[in-house]
Structure 1
Amino acid sequence: MTAMLKPPVQVARNLGWRQVLGAGQSGDGFWAHVRGQQLLLLNAAIPFNIGLLVINMAVLLALFGPAVPFAQLAPCLAGFAGLSLMWTVRAIRRGRAGVPGTASHGRFWRVTAEISSLGLCWAGLLFALLPVLPADRQAVLMIFSLIFMGAISNAAATMPVAVLAVVAAIASAMWAALPAGAPLEHPMVALGLASFALIKLRAALATTYQTMARLKSDADLKDQGEVVRLLLNEYESNGSDWLLELDAHGRLTHVTTRFADVARRPRGDLIGQPLLSLIDPTQGGAAAVALARALNDAQPFRDLVVPVPLGRDLRWWALSGTPKQDGKGNFTGFRGVGRDVTEVRRSQERIAQLARFDPLTGLANRSLFRETLEDVVDRAIASGRPAALLFVDLDRFKAVNDGFGHAAGDYLLRQVAQRLQGLVKGGATIARLGGDEFAILLPDGSGDRPDRLAARIVKDLARPFPLGDTGRAGAVVGASVGWARVPDDARTPESLLRCADLALYQVKGQGRGAACQYSAEMAEAAAHRRRLEGDLAAALDQDQLALMFQPVVDAADERITGFEALLRWHHPELGTIPPLDFIPIAEDTGLIVPIGHWVIDRALAWAARWPQHVRVAVNLSAVQMEDVDLPVHIAAALARHRVTADRLELEITESLFLAEKPVVQQLLAELTALGLNFALDDFGTGYSALGTLQNASFSRIKIDRSFVKRATALGDDASAIIQAIVRLAASLDMATTAEGTETRAAFELCRDLGCTQVQGFLFGRPMPPEQATALVADLAPA
């Protein structure tokens, strides 16, 4: 029986017996509302119950009134009449004033007592009538009693205490009022009465539980709704997003203050406007098309970023929406949210700009260049219309960067970009590939257009560049241009890059400051160079390198004072390869360092066999002068071959000092400390400057062969240059060696101009070390 009276599980989790039976705490607002709803349901059933009560009373009086003295029925009838009259008056009053939404604890229990008194009045009737009625009339009265009990239980279904009182009073009276031995006094009748009473009580409890659960759920939803409204208000006031609602035709039906502020229009102007009318169709792209399709097909959409023009300002909105339906499932429009993502969009555009364009010059970067190159090549191959690629390399940018700083270098690069943009027209792409390297893609590379453009670039970039506030009027940098054409020279992006690079390499190898178109011979030369690179690595191990020695002669007595060591490569298949062909390769690959160590060691090994007054000169490249192990190696070689340091002369060129690298100055200091001699080679060519002579303790200046040749052929002007160099050297206590003395006339001219030593074919061509050793022995003083 206890299980029958337990509340449903989902309700019992939140409601207990005390709340169900007593309608909660007296001072609680929610339970006051629950009690008010319980009484509201009861009041709704009052008219029917009063009518039922009147009918029952009339039937009872007609059937059973004569059998019982009226005095016995009077109290019960008076109770029925009084309660009916009271409820009727109360219903009329509440009908005028309206039913209150809440009820106090005391009022709830007073009504409970009133309903319970109905059960007591009916029980009094049963005690008055059942003992005096025959069995058939007893059965009829009991049926009426069950009807009355059911009606009252249904009317007060949400007031279980009242139902319990009515059911208990009537059921008990029905059984207790039967006279002993009556036919209805049967156990089965008692069982039926008890079962009926429990069913009605269970129904009342279940109804009460369900009603209270529904009211509690409604209250929770109301609280949640209040929270949601507060959050939405906060969201609208402080959030960056806004809410929007559309009808089935895509027109705005609800415009929040935030939305109106973002749209920069009054709310009244926006209501009724199609959402699509706010969007710029010319810039909307795929997102605008997707939004129009979603609105037309009643499909949800999410984070569609569309452009919205607001005066001269173009904003970007991210829109999301979900279709909404009415109770019958009909589509009624959209409910969604919008967000201004203009700054995010601009940030993305800036990131994309940085990813595809050079931040210094604004030109395309290597990534965008590569994409464009593939597209240009594909279209040129497909159409048969040639395109061209030009590589532009600044000739003397490093000198500007090292001499005036990176700020000046950056300023110059921006000017180069501006000049290139002024020269290149017609849909071409200009890119900065890195450092001082630029590339130009010409979609139309037909005829002599690339050649003419390359020539204009060389000419325009040869003009001086101002260097801002560096204090220098202008820097002459110059440029070299190599170019190739597709499909004539190449048919893939990689091969086109290789061809243009080979053309640029050809220009730089020939002296820079010019333009050159790719040719097949360049590919052959490149293949030859690649072979030399591979073979040179094994040349040392396979004894393919050898030294030759050219005499240096005293101009006064024509005695040999020393030899210059000259490197030769005897390739087993290609024959003797001159230094001009393989030394640049050795420098580019770094092989010049171990080769240089070998040259110094071999030169000192042969010098050890010569007389003490005979020196040996060895050329050092700029790459070797960054080898921190060079002083240690030279010192070890001098000790190993027992050659004094003053017999070794290192020849270096002026270009070594242009970069002003600390490591070079440090190495010069360490080599000077060893007691070595230094000769400044090729003086008078390239970047000759008097300051160069102060960078090292030079003992000799070597006058380039070009001056000797011109002096022999032209006379006074060229001779004056040699004489000036000789005087400069003498003032600095330096000797001078004139290279290229191939004739007696050249020798006598150089001697007369004051040169202390000469070197050239007149006194000996480069010779094997054995021959040089024999020559020194023959000429050595006795």
Structure 2
Amino acid sequence: MPIGHHSWLSAFRLRILHRVRRMSELQQHLRDVSTTPTGHTELARRSAGVIGLLVLCIFLGASLILARIAFTLNQDELNRSQTLVQKVFDARLETVSSTLLNFAYWDEAFEYTKDHIDLSWIARQESMGRTLLAQYALNGVLIIDPQDQTRFAYIKGQLTIDRPQTWLEGDLNGLIHKARAMSFEQQTAQAYFTVEGKPAIVWAAAIRPLSYPLDVPAERLSVIVFVDALGENSLSQMAKTFGLNNLRHDTSNTDVGLDLSTEPRIRLTWDVTRPGDALLMVMFPMLVLSIFIFSFITWHLLRRSIKAARQIDLSHEAMLKSEARFRDVAEASSDWIWETNAHLTVNYLSDRFGTTTGLNVNECLGKSLQELLLFDQNEFMALAHSSLRHNKPIPCRHTDVNGRERIGNLLVRRIDTQGVVSGYRGTVSDITDDIEAKAYILHLSQHDAVTGLPNRTHAYEILQEKLAHDLTEHTGFALLYVDISGFQQVNDALGHSAGDRILSKVGQRLRQIVGPDSFVARLGGDEFVILTAPLSSTALSTLCETLLDAFEQPITASEQELRLGLCIGVAQAPVDSNDSQELLRLADIALHEAKANGRRTWRLYNAEMKKRIQERRQLEQDLKQALRNDELRLVFQPRFDIASSQLIGAEALVRWEHPERGMLSPAVFIPMAEETGLIVELSDWVMHHACLEANRWDASVFVSVNLSCIEFKRSDLVDRIRQVLARTGLSPSRLELEITESVMIDNAEGAREFMIELKRLGVKLSMDDFGTGYSSLSYLSQYPFDGIKIDRSFVMNLADPTANNQAIVKAIVALGQSLSMRVTAEGVETQEQLDALATLDCDQAQGYFLGRPMPPEHLREQIAALSWPAAH
């Protein structure tokens, strides 16, 4: 309960106690009055005054209620009419919008208007304009071609060749572009214009096919436009139809109105009936007459009420009941009431005192108030002698029977007897539970529910507090940004419940290692932050190594022992920065550098890191620009059938001629594209251009494209490949997708489902770099691969009889043949390697010896021969 609420409630209860005491005094006074003969007449006079005031209050109250009812009736009528007008226009907008979509989604109209408009077809559409204007009370129908030229304009019941801009005042081109942009959302664009000085509603929708997919971009679509001018005739017809009085266009700010648009300003207003005014005209005179009659009767009755004894008895009985009622309220309240003499000796305690504290009320009477309560004496006296009716309580403390300290709010008023302070009276509100609840809520808001560690918000507050001090190199501290390597895979495999237990154990282990002088918080996910005490460079290095070593020990979760590594980024204050956000950012940069160097490592921030990050971001922007401007190019490395020496396919490889850095290796920009998400756009570009180029080859030659493991984490992979095949027209059987084993390691079941869907498209799948992973044999039997590519590391020393590579390659070839998969050897660089592969019955070969990556035109020349060069 808020402190202010306690203050008001305690003051109310204090007034109750005061009133109870006053009632007792008044009761005795009434007894005295009942024995005085002259008291009867005085009582009657006072009663007459009170009743007269009551009659006046009743009259005023009834008048206010009647006025309120009249106002409510008027307001309800206003709201009803506004709701009606709103619904009328909403229905109008919905009807015309639906009609426009019906005409926009029209196969015939799309065929005659895409790219350019068939004018002969337009000439036959006069009946369409006439029908629309007649049936839907429109003022104009326009058709705009993709070049934003008006090709059809049916305005005011006749065809016209005038440009609509001479008739419509508004941003028509903007509305047309918006309609094209919304063409894929099956919605119309809508805006308010003016027509000949009158407001008008204008709808626009792109014309597109209804029964088959759209095969042109939005900017090549024509647009159909409906115009509905809100003139006097249309508004009058609308008002007549829906029972509105004098519906009109008015830009003045009247109470009754509906704003349709602010730019241009379009506001409708109408006349509203006022039933409340009619009610007042009828009821108010009746009310005045009724009050007059009632007042007369009351006055007559009061004059006859001269029997003081009856009045005293009735008043006495009412006072007794009132006293009992107020005493019950006082005793039932959650606060306890006290009263002392002028020396603060307690002479009264309410029963709630014993209930709240557990102490015996009688034993506490006669004690000093300061023995029961701990409070500031000066504040107590200032509050007691304050002339304000409503004062804020002062804090106090007291001890209950169990010795537990409790917190309260103390209110006090002085008791004056003939102008002299004779005592003090007040209440104590126990707010211990409220304070504890607030402390608990504060704790919850500052701590992570999973680990019990401080959360991001609290960590940021602590960081700002530490940075607020004047730090030096000797009093500074280090910020460790900690990331758990491999946690996401464990969380996906074991579930979120197990993941939460792991995070809790990680938090406990971090706190145990860094000790009580350092601050540990969880930022979210698998990221933690540590704020250390002042450390030397050696001590900081030791701490980081200790953290890394500690997480070499397994963590048990779901009856499994898990080994999770750490990556740590470190920034120092004030050496690196005195700003909290900047310090976190620098530590994050160092963490990124640590991740780039593998799991279980740490890096201390330095300026070179920031430079590399900036270069990487610049490279990211350059790659985006290159994709937009089509600055990339493809080269193709041919693949040959070893037995027939025939060229059977080619692998598409992307190259980037950077305008400033020259030719960049894919090893430079492909990892960056995977981290930033650009790999999807880059992959789409490569696949699209590779398939287009493959269409120019002999039908027996396929093209091979590499897929990134990042693409398998998105749900649209299959749809993207399906769309590329549809746009380029390449047969799916001529597209081979090369997939690395890391795809299966990251998401085994999800990758398998994707591959099954890809096989349904008809494309071929090949496992790239076979033999370099961990579980390739099991993957071959479980996943629908058509072929495998032997990594170049096995082909390198194939001709060396002392190496074991021949036995490995022979085993791989035998395995592939047993699974009906074609086997391709990568990295063939000598005739001896090629001869050895032929001896081992390897199916296909690819390498510099057979053909380096070459431009598309050179590959086409080689495809014409369908064999490797004669020199080989």
Describe the SS at the equivalent of 1:323. strand
Aligned partner of residue 449 in structure 2, secondary structure? coil
Going from structure 1 to structure 2, the CA distance change for 1:311 and 1:434 (only over 3 Å counts) comes to farther
Q: TM-score, normalised by structure 1?
A: 0.66
Secondary structure at 1:602 match in 2: helix
CA 1:637 to 1:228, structure 2 compared with 1: closer, same or farther past 3 Å?
same
2:355 matched residue in structure 1: 261
- Flag the 1:30–1:315 CA change in 2: closer, same or farther, 3 A: closer
Q: For residues 465 and 541 of structure 2, what CA distance do their matches in structure 1 show?
A: 22
Q: Give how far 1:656 is off.
A: 2.6
Q: Distance in 1 between matches of 2:304 and 2:774?
A: 105
Q: Is the 8 A contact 2:759 2:784 kept in 1?
A: yes
Which residue of structure 2 lines up, in the alignment, with residue 432 of structure 1?
522
CA–CA distance in 1 between the matches of 2:805 and 2:327?
A: 93
Are the structure 2 counterparts of residues 451 and 554 from structure 1 closer, same or farther at C-alpha, using a change threshold of 3 Å? farther
Kept in 2: contact 1:554–1:756 (CA 8 A): yes
Deviation at 1:741, TM superposition (A): 4.0
Note the alpha carbon deviations across 1:167-211, whole angstroms, 9 max, x for none: xxxxxxxxxxxxxxxxxxxxxxxxxxxxxxxxxxxxxxxxx9999
1:392 aligns with 2:511: no
In structure 2, what is the equivalent of residue 455 of structure 1? Answer: 545
Aligned match of 2:848: 761
Q: Alignment length, in residue pairs?
A: 581
Tell me which residue corresponds to 2:730.
Answer: 643
Q: Which residue of 2 aligns with 1:94?
A: none
Please tell me whether residue 519 in structure 1 is matched to residue 606 in structure 2.
yes
**Residue of structure 2 in register with 1:295 after alignment:** 380
- Which structure: greater helix fraction? 1
SS of equivalent residue, structure 1 residue 381: coil
Question: Which has more radius of gyration?
Answer: 1
Give 1:294's aligned amino acid: E
Q: Contact conserved, 1:638 with 1:645, CA < 8 A, in 2?
A: yes
Shift of 1:742: 4.4
Equivalent runs, 1:520-599 vs 2, <5 Å: 520-556=607-643, 559-599=646-686
1:444 is aligned to 2:534: yes
The alignment status of 1:317 with 2:407, answered yes or no, reads yes
Shift of 1:651: 1.4
Query: In the alignment, is the contact (CA less than 8 A) between 1:385 and 1:446 conserved in 2?
Result: no
Relative to structure 1, the CA distance from residue 383 to residue 459 in structure 2 (aligned partners, 3 Å threshold; closer, same or farther) is closer
Partner of 1:230: 325
User: Within the alignment, does 1:37 sit opposite 2:35 as a pair?
Assistant: yes
Partner of 1:420: 510
Relative to structure 1, is the Cα distance of residues 520 and 637 closer, same or farther in structure 2, using a 3 angstrom cutoff?
same
The alpha carbon displacement at 1:688 in A equals: 3.2
Aligned to 2:697: 610
Alignment correspondent of 1:600: 687
Distance 2:705 2:567 in 1: 32
TM-score for the superposition, normalised by structure 2: 0.59
- 1:69 counterpart residue number: none
Offset of residue 506 of structure 1: 0.9
Q: Which residue of 1 aligns with 2:417?
A: 327
Per the TM alignment, residue 526 of structure 1 is displaced from its structure 2 partner at its CA by: 0.8
Per the TM alignment, residue 565 of structure 1 is displaced from its structure 2 partner at its CA by 1.2
Aligned position for 2:707? 620
> CA 1:480–1:274 in structure 2 vs 1: closer, same or farther (change >3 Å)?
farther
Output aligned runs, 1:116-131, within 5 Å: none
Shift of 1:306: 5.2
Deviation at 1:256, TM superposition (A): 2.5
Aligned-pair identity (%): 34
* Range with bigger deviation, 248-257 or 435-444: 248-257
* 8 Å Cα contact 1:319/1:338 also seen in 2: yes
Per the TM alignment, residue 417 of structure 1 is displaced from its structure 2 partner at its CA by: 0.7
Deviations 1:434-483 (A, max 9, x none): 11111111131432232222222222223221113xx4x31222121111
1:505 aligns with 2:579: no
**Aligned AA for 2:468?**
D
Q: Classify the secondary structure of the residue corresponding to 1:649.
A: strand
1:340 counterpart = 2:434: no
Residue 520 of structure 1: CA displacement?
Answer: 0.9
SS in 1 for 2:452: coil
Kept in 2, the 8 Å contact 1:324–1:331? The answer is yes
Greater RCO, 1 or 2 (C-alpha within 8 Å, sep 6+)? 2
SS at match of 1:358: coil
Matched, 1:241 2:239: no
1:266 partner letter? N
Letter in 1 for 2:469: R
Q: In angstroms, what is the RMSD of aligned CA positions?
A: 4.1
Contact residue 303 and residue 318 of structure 1 kept, 8 A: no
Distance (Å, rounded) in 1 between the aligned partners of 2:43 and 2:817 = 128
| Aligned CA distance change for structure 1 residues 325 and 36 (closer, same or farther; 3 Å) | closer
Letter in 2 for 1:357: H
User: Relative to 1, partners in 2 of residues 1:363 and 1:746: Cα closer, same or farther, differing over 3 Å?
Assistant: farther
Does the aligned pair in 1 maintain the 2:637–2:852 contact within 8 Å? yes
Inter-CA distance 318–749: structure 2 relative to 1 (3 Å threshold):
farther
Quote the residue 1:494 is aligned against: 581
Give yes or no for the alignment of 1:734 onto 2:734: no
1:369 aligns with 2:459: yes
Instruction: Find the aligned partners of 2:472 and 2:414 in 1 and give their Cα distance.
Output: 52
Residues 774, 259 of structure 1: CA spacing in aligned structure 2 closer, same or farther, 3 A cutoff?
same
SS class of match (2:786)? strand
In 1, the alpha carbon distance for the partners of 2:419 and 2:809 equals 105
Distance apart, 1:510 and its partner CA: 1.9
- Secondary structure at the counterpart of residue 593 of structure 2: helix
Cα contact 1:307–1:314 (8 A) shared by 2 = no
Show the counterpart of 1:172: none
1:653 aligns with 2:740: yes
- The answer (yes or no) to whether the contact 1:305–1:316 under 8 Å persists in 2 is no
CA contact (8 A) 1:502 1:523 kept: yes
1:294-353 deviation per Cα after TM superposition (whole angstroms, max 9, x unaligned): 225444764556555547674543323122132244445542223333333332222211
Task: Verify the 8 A CA contact 1:684 1:703 in the aligned structure 2.
Answer: yes
Report how far residue 224 of structure 1 moved.
4.6
Contact 1:737–1:758 under 8 Å retained in 2 = yes
Superposed counterparts of 1:161-172, under 5 Å: none
| SS of residue paired to 1:450 | helix
**For the residues of structure 1 that align with 2:473 and 2:343, how far apart are their CA atoms?**
48
Tell me the SS of whatever aligns to 1:379. Answer: coil
Secondary structure of the structure 1 residue equivalent to 2:638: strand
1:540 partner SS: helix
Alpha-carbon contact 2:394-2:411 (below 8 Å) kept: no
Q: Name the amino acid aligned to 2:414.
A: K
Note if contact 2:634-2:652 (Cα within 8 Å) is conserved in structure 1: yes
Query: Which structure is higher in strand share?
Result: 2
**Separation in 2 of the partners of 1:292 and 1:778?**
108
Deviation at 1:361, TM superposition (A): 0.2
Is the 1:315–1:340 Cα contact (8 Å) retained in structure 2? no
What residue in structure 2 maps to residue 67 of structure 1? none
State the one-letter code of the partner of 1:423: I
